[in-house]
Structure 1
Amino acid sequence: MPQLKDIATQIRRDIVRMVHGVQSGHPGGSLGCADFFTALYFKVMDHKPAPFDMDGKNQDLFFLSNGHISPVFYSALARSGYFPVPELSTFRKLNSRLQGHPTTHEHLPGVRVASGSLGQGMSVAIGAALAKKLNNDKNLVYTLHGDGELEEGQNWEAIMFAPHHKVDNLIITVDLNGQQIDGTTDDVAGLGDVAAKFEVFGWLVLHTDGNDMDALVATLEKAKGLTGQGKPIAIMMKTVMGQGVDFMEGHHEWHGIAPSDEQLAKALAQLPETLGDY
C-alpha cells in the first residue's frame, strides 16, 4: 500500500517538525503510531472530516485515550481534511487550538473529548458506543490506548463493563511498545499477558504488527467484520517507540523530549517529504 506508506512518512515528518518547533511534546509514541492513524483515517474508518459534527451521528468515531501523543493525532486530522495543514505550525504555542493534550475548549475539528488524563478513553468510548446502539446508529467506535496507560485502574472497570453489556460496536487498540516515561513497562509495573487479561474478561482479541501497514489494515478490517457478535474487540498492536527515526527507536527517553536542530536534520533525512510540508 504505497500511498498509505507515503502518508505515514509525511505524518512522521510532521511529528518531528512540530515537536522540534516548540521544543516540547511527545515524539516517541507518536512516531510509533503513525501507521495506525494512517490506516484508520485514510482507509478503515467511515468518517466525515468536513463539516465536522461533534455528535458524529452515522459515522465512525475515534477517541484518543493516551492524549500525549497528540502530534500524530493532529497530523492525521489535518492531512485527512479536518482543519488546514498549515495550522500544524501552531502546535503547543500560545493561543493555539493544538494544545499539548487534545481539548474540546478550543473547538478543534476532529477532537471529541479532552484526553490529558490517562485511563479515561475507554469509558468515554463505551458510553459513545452504547449511545449509538440506543440511536440505532450502525457505525463503530474506535479507541487507542498506551500499554503504560493500562496501569490506570479505570481501564479495568471499563474492560470488565464492556463485555458484560455486550458493547459489540467497539474496537479498541492497545499500543504495546513496552515503553513509558520512566522506563520499560516491565520495569515500572509489569503488565504480564495483556491479551489474556482481555480474553478472560470476555473480549475478542486480535493481534497485529502496528508498523506493518498491510498487516495493520488487514487486522482493522477483520475487526470490523467481527463486530455485532456480542463481544467488544481489542487489538494488541506491537509497535516500536520512535519508529522511522533510527536514533529514537525503542528508547523510552524519547517519550517526551524534543529533538535538537542537529537531531531534527538527521530525522528528516530519514523521512522524505511525500505530501508537502506545512
Structure 2
Amino acid sequence: MSSQSQFQIKCIWDIRLTTAKVGMQLVIAAVPSKKHRSTAADRKAKMSVDFLNNDSVSVTTGMFQVRPATEHRRFTVDLNWDPRMQKPSSDNLRILLPIPKQCGQDMPWFNGSCYAVSAVRQSMADATDSVGGDAQLASFSSMAEISEFIAANTARLNEFPYRRPLSLRQPVRLGMFLNASAATVLTVVRSDSGCVLKSEKLANISATGREKGPCLSLRVTESDRAVVEFGDCSSPMLSLLSFPDTARSVPSSAAHCSGSELATLLDRLQSRFADAESSP
C-alpha cells in the first residue's frame, strides 16, 4: 500500500430502490450546504454515483440528473478524499422518486412535467453541463403557457396537499435564446450533424432587455405577472429545470449537448446578436 493511499478516506453507500414502479423517475441532485454555496471544485472530496447497469455520474455542485428508476434501482455512492489536502464534500446528495402528476414537495407538476429551480447560480454553459438524463432547462411555447405555469405554481399554496410553490421572484434561466437578426426564439437540439440552434414558432413571446444578450430568463412580479427578459449567457444565474414526470421509452441522455458545444453556438449567436444591435 502506498503512503498516499494510507491517507485516503473512502466511504461507500449501497442503495437499493424497493418502491420503483414502471415509468417512475429517479432524481439525484447535489445541493450545497448553506455554508458552502461556491461551485469551485478545487481541493474538494470526490463523489460519484455508480449504477449496476454501468451508468456512472460524477457528482459536482449543482448537478441535477434524472434517470428511469426501474433501470437504475440499485447504485452506490462513492466518496473519497485526502484529509491532508482536501475538505469533506460540502454537497448534500438528494435522492428523490417524484410521484407522477404530483412530483415533489418543492417540485410543481405542470402539463406532464416536473419543475425545479437549480441549487446554484451558473452560466448557461455550466448549467447545461450540470443537468442530464431526462432533465433540461425549461422552455415554453407561448406567453400564455408561461402564465398557466405560474398560475399552477402559485395554486400549490391553496390546493391539497398544500405545497410550497417555487420562488420565482428572482430571475431564472430558461433553455431559450433570441436570434436577433431574424427576431425569432431558438432552442438547442442535437441533430445528425451535432448540436444546433433550432428556430421555434412560438406564439406571443415578448421580452425586454434584448440589448443585454440572447439568453432568456423568467421572473414573477409581486402581482404574479410573468416578466421574460434577455440577458448575458455567461452571467451566473439560477435555472428553471424540467423533466417528464414519467420516464421516456427512449433514453434522452444521448440527446444532450455539452456545455462546450453550447458555448460555441452561443459565441456565434452573440456575435450575430451584437452585429444586429449595432446595425442602423
TM exceeds 0.5? Answer: no
TM-score tier after normalising by the smaller chain length:
under 0.3
Question: Relative contact order (C-alpha < 8 Å, sep 6+): which is higher?
Answer: 1
Question: Whose strand fraction is larger, Structure 1's or Structure 2's?
Answer: 2
Q: Give the TM-score, by structure 1 length.
A: 0.28
Asked which structure has the greater CA Rg, the reply is 2
Q: Give the TM-score, by structure 2 length.
A: 0.28
